[in-house]
């Protein structure tokens, strides 16, 4: 057998193994998608992936929502929180990253290390102090506890990501801009931001996914049924209707995954570039 045939056979073998592993990983999702089109009484009777009877009743009933509140309201609430969270992270994290990467100020190394150390701090440690603070501001049962920290450079991970990206940019660009009379604000807006678009897109994607899927923080601060997000509404679906609503629950779970898949597929190229690179390409 020639070396070319051996390489071709190895490639086929790796492809088959990858497909098998992918199917195993995706099986729960595929089963949930299939179950969302099954009549309620057949969901757990038929364990096959192909429904013997197709129905859209689960999607119709699920979209009606809970407590006479349409599921569209929950989607709107989630998109509001996600939108402001993305705007906050993009604005403040990029500014903080520029300060750490380009501006020399007293205690810069200390504050950067302290910021980086906050990544190691479990969220549950600061949960009670944060709740007491937001309660004193009368922000409980509003979206402010979920949005306001994003406008205060709260996510150290994104700051660190952008710092590493900005440090990979040639300093000569800043020096040339200073010769032309630009200050830090102009350098940041005209030079740095256009070059860190991959990092900004990466921040957008991760902020969207993490905020959309967030359950614990939203559960702590939101209680009004009309303010519930998708994650909380899915849980409330079960609490209010019990086992008889499994079909609707599966249907709404599938719909809740569509925005995540859409934004990931649309920004996939920039996501990979933002993670894999740390500066300009030659």
Alpha-carbon gap, residue 188 to 95, rounded angstroms: 8
- Tens of pLDDT along the chain (282 residues)? 567 677 778 778 888 898 888 888 888 888 888 888 888 887 777 777 787 788 888 898 889 877 788 999 999 999 999 999 999 999 999 999 999 999 888 888 899 999 888 888 888 888 899 999 999 999 999 999 999 999 998 899 999 989 988 988 888 888 888 888 888 899 999 889 998 888 898 899 999 999 999 999 999 999 898 999 999 998 877 754 444 578 888 899 999 999 988 888 887 776 666 555 544 443
Q: Which domains does the chain have, with CATH numbers?
A: 3-57 (no CATH), 63-276 (1.10.3720.10)
Nearby residues of 94 by Cβ (< 8 Å), 6 or more positions away = 162, 188, 192, 193, 196, 200, 203
Q: How many CB atoms lie within 10 A of CB 88?
A: 20
Instruction: Convert the pLDDT of each residue in 6-53 to its tens digit.
Output: 777 877 888 889 888 888 888 888 888 888 888 888 777 777 778 778
This prediction has a pTM of 0.85
Give CA–CA dist 93/160, Å, rounded.
9
DSSP 245: G
């Amino acid at each position: 057998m020639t070396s070319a045939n051996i390489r071709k056979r190895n490639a086929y073998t790796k492809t088959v193994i990858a497909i098998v592993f992918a199917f195993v990983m995706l099986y729960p999702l595929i089963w949930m998608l299939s179950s969302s089109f099954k009549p309620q009484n057949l969901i757990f009777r038929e364990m096959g992936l192909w429904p013997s009877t197709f129905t859209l009743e689960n999607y119709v009933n699920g979209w009606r929502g809970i407590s006479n509140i349409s599921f569209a309201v929950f989607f709107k609430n989630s998109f509001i929180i996600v939108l402001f969270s993305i705007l906050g992270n993009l604005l403040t994290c990029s500014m903080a990253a520029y300060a750490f990467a380009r501006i020399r100020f007293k205690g810069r190394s200390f504050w950067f290390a302290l910021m980086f150390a906050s990544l190691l701090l479990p969220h549950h440690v600061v949960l009670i102090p944060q709740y007491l603070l937001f309660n004193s501001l009368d922000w409980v049962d509003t979206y402010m506890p979920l949005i306001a920290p994003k406008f205060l450079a709260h996510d150290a991970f994104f700051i660190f990501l952008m710092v590493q990206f900005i440090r990979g940019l040639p300093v000569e660009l800043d020096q040339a801009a200073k010769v032309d009379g630009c200050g830090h604000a102009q350098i940041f807006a005209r030079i740095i931001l256009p070059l860190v678009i991959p990092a900004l897109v990466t921040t957008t994607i991760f902020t969207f996914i993490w905020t959309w899927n967030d359950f614990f923080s939203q559960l702590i601060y939101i209680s009004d049924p009309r303010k519930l997000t998708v994650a909380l509404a899915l849980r409330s679906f079960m609490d209010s209707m019990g086992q008889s609503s499994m079909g609707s629950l599966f249907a709404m779970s599938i719909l809740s995954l569509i925005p995540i898949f859409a934004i990931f597929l649309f920004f996939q190229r920039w996501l990979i570039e933002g993670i894999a690179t740390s500066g300009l390409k030659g």
